[in-house]
Amino acid sequence: MKKRFSLMLAGMAALALAAGCKDEAPKTAPAPEPAAQQQPAAQPAASPGKSGKVVETMNSGGYTYVKVDTGSEQFWAAAPEFVVQVGDPVAVPEGMPMVDYHSKTLDRTFDMVYFVPAVMVGGAAPAAAAPAGMGSDMQMPEGHPPINGSAGGQAQVDLSGIAKAEGGQTVAEVFAGKGDLSGKEITLRGKVVKFSPEIMGKNWIHIQDGTGGEGTNDLTVTTSAVAKVGDTVLVTGKLTTDKDFGYGYKYDIILEDAQVNIE
């Protein structure tokens, strides 16, 4: 009897040991993390507009950059050049977030910077202006300050005597025929009335040739080429209509990644 009882205890001990080993097994082969935890981080949404004090500021490429401390967080914003000092209270409206934005003129990469049309300093609104290089046909997000007309920030350039490009269009003809020209490569000749470098990785040029009226006389062009105000240029590129860069930034018409030859 005692022998049978000892054998039963030994058997129970063996079962308990086996069960213990089974419970330890997951430690050597951990279960994979839930798929939801492996998903990439969501893209940033547009800033809702915030207020705070400037803790750092600098100017570059026609823009003023400000680092703003709200008391609970800090963020960078950039607007067409304006006067501001460290310690000034500012209000920054909704803007377009640019992740890992590199400024060549500053030789600096920002983890995140919001591009906005204007920044209110000390409770006084500055003269509103569209972001450098971005035309008056650009529709700003709801709640933004009003922006100037197409001539805002542009130099007075003599547009007389500009010959139409052979086989090409005038600025007015591009606007008038945008429905048929959309998605097609076009060529036109004009003069540079505004040049803004290194915005969203591109140079922005405004071209006029003396044709068209208010709202149809100025064509926005993005390019890697460099030009200066007053240059006569021959521009070739694909026409894009109803261009939406996101966050409320929309163009009725724009010539993207164009070839620009200075004549």
User: What is the mean pLDDT of the segment spanning 220-235?
Assistant: 94
CATH, residue 237: 2.40.50.140
User: What is the mean pLDDT of the segment spanning 193-216?
Assistant: 85
Q: Are residues 106 and 181 in the same domain?
A: no
pLDDT confidence of residue 240? 94
Residue 154 has pLDDT above 60, yes or no: no
The domain boundary, picked from 79, 100, 121, lies at 121
Residue 175 has pLDDT above 60, yes or no: yes
Residue 218 has pLDDT above 90, yes or no: yes
pLDDT confidence of residue 182? 95
Question: Higher-confidence residue: 29 or 71?
Answer: 71
Question: Higher-confidence residue: 166 or 96?
Answer: 166
pLDDT confidence of residue 61? 79
Q: Are residues 247 and 184 in the same domain?
A: yes
Asked if 132 contacts 80 with a C-beta cutoff of 8 angstroms, the reply is: yes
pLDDT confidence of residue 105? 82
Instruction: State the residue range of the domain holding 201.
Output: 171-262
Q: Are residues 105 and 181 in the same domain?
A: no
Write the pLDDT tens digit of every residue in 11-48: 444 443 344 434 433 344 444 444 334 343 444 444 44
CATH, residue 79: 2.40.50
Is residue 69 domain-resident?
yes
pLDDT category at 130 given cuts 50, 70, 90 is very low
pTM of the model: 0.51
pLDDT confidence of residue 101? 86
Average per-residue pLDDT in the chain? 74
Indicate the number of domains in the chain.
2
